[in-house]
Structure 1
């Protein structure tokens, strides 16, 4: 049975001409969730900046960007993600300060100050096997707070969130599926149960 051509995109922004699932495909993403109280703070800021994704995309660190997959491959994908989660222990993330991808991309983000190595390791393992795919840019863990909004809003987010300082324990990663509306729904969570690193 032939598989549909897989489309790639490194952002969680709906595209009308691509990445929208059909009866035979689904669009998945895998992320580290940002917990409360910081999640609501970042949603509020994304809303304040006029970013329409504020209500569609929960604050997160991306492990697998939106990726179109065949529905028949979902069981093997879930098994793959469970295997990855079993190979990695929980880890700590420290979000501190802001950064931007401008002028390459109109994005302002909260920076991952600690936990970069763990995010990179988990992300690398996620993007193997049935989820093997290229990236448009080198992997750079971050939490987007404004994307494709006016320059003054990007500047405001970068300045006003510069003092963000959040620490949290990552106990699982989350598999999301894109709905027809463009919103992202939790498909399942995969607990990190790997052996502690020495």
Structure 2
């Protein structure tokens, strides 16, 4: 089965992001707005129990932290994805690093870590330019505290759901 690890922001931020995603993101119905910590990887039912234990240890070793959305941005010219850029802070970087080193299941991420929340993707060049131009005029700055991350699994229809939630800095 396919798994991944992500942070879901507050409902307030998800609502703001979804106001764009429902129009500009074909994956809108498949997953809620999120920040990816570990990209999709395959694991068996037995393997995922060990991975969940490792994720629990990672969560316990990290404290809650501030998440700052700073501005709209894009991955162009690589692709026409538009996103809200999340400020890379030491806590977020450390979480990502611990889940993406060579010895952790699935190995290193295939991408450089650019923390973000996607608001549009697979846009035509003209649509990308128009949407980005509109969104860049908005003040999208936002700050909130993150106190958990989630292990997700992919259903047969392509949608993602929570397998387990891990609270930062807490013993179970």
Q: Using structure 1 for the length normalisation, give the TM-score.
A: 0.78
Number of residue equivalences: 167
Q: Could you tell me which residue of structure 2 aligns to residue 175 of structure 1?
A: 151
Question: Which of 79, 85, 99 is equivalent to 1:126?
Answer: 99
Q: Greater CA deviation, 102-111 or 154-163?
A: 154-163
1:31 and 2:3 matched: no
User: Pairwise mapping of residues 6-17 of structure 1 onto structure 2 (< 5 A)?
Assistant: none
The 8 Å contact of residues 96 and 166 in structure 1, kept in 2 or not, is answered as yes
Q: Could you tell me which residue of structure 1 aligns to residue 165 of structure 2?
A: 189
Mark the runs of 5 or more structure 1 residues left unpaired by the alignment.
1-25
Q: Greater CA deviation, 40-49 or 74-83?
A: 40-49
The 8 Å contact of residues 56 and 183 in structure 1, kept in 2 or not, is answered as yes
The 8 Å contact of residues 39 and 58 in structure 1, kept in 2 or not, is answered as yes
Q: After TM superposition, give the deviation of residue 121 of structure 1 in Å.
A: 0.7
Q: After TM superposition, give the deviation of residue 130 of structure 1 in Å.
A: 4.2
User: Pairwise mapping of residues 1-198 of structure 1 onto structure 2 (< 5 A)?
Assistant: 26-49=1-24, 51-113=25-87, 115-128=88-101, 129-162=103-136, 163-193=139-169
The 8 Å contact of residues 41 and 106 in structure 2, kept in 1 or not, is answered as no
Q: After TM superposition, give the deviation of residue 185 of structure 1 in Å.
A: 0.4
SS in structure 2 of the partner of residue 65 of structure 1:
strand
Query: Taking CA–CA contacts closer than 8 Å with sequence separation of 6 or more, which of the two structures ends up with the larger relative contact order?
Result: 2
* CA displacement 1:68-92 (0-9 Å, x = unmatched): 1122201101100000001110000
The 8 Å contact of residues 45 and 157 in structure 1, kept in 2 or not, is answered as no
Mark the runs of 5 or more structure 2 residues left unpaired by the alignment.
none
Q: Using structure 2 for the length normalisation, give the TM-score.
A: 0.89
Q: After TM superposition, give the deviation of residue 137 of structure 1 in Å.
A: 2.4
RMSD of aligned residue pairs (Cα, Å): 1.6
SS in structure 2 of the partner of residue 55 of structure 1:
coil
The 8 Å contact of residues 109 and 146 in structure 1, kept in 2 or not, is answered as yes
Q: After TM superposition, give the deviation of residue 132 of structure 1 in Å.
A: 4.2
Q: After TM superposition, give the deviation of residue 139 of structure 1 in Å.
A: 1.3
SS in structure 1 of the partner of residue 151 of structure 2:
strand
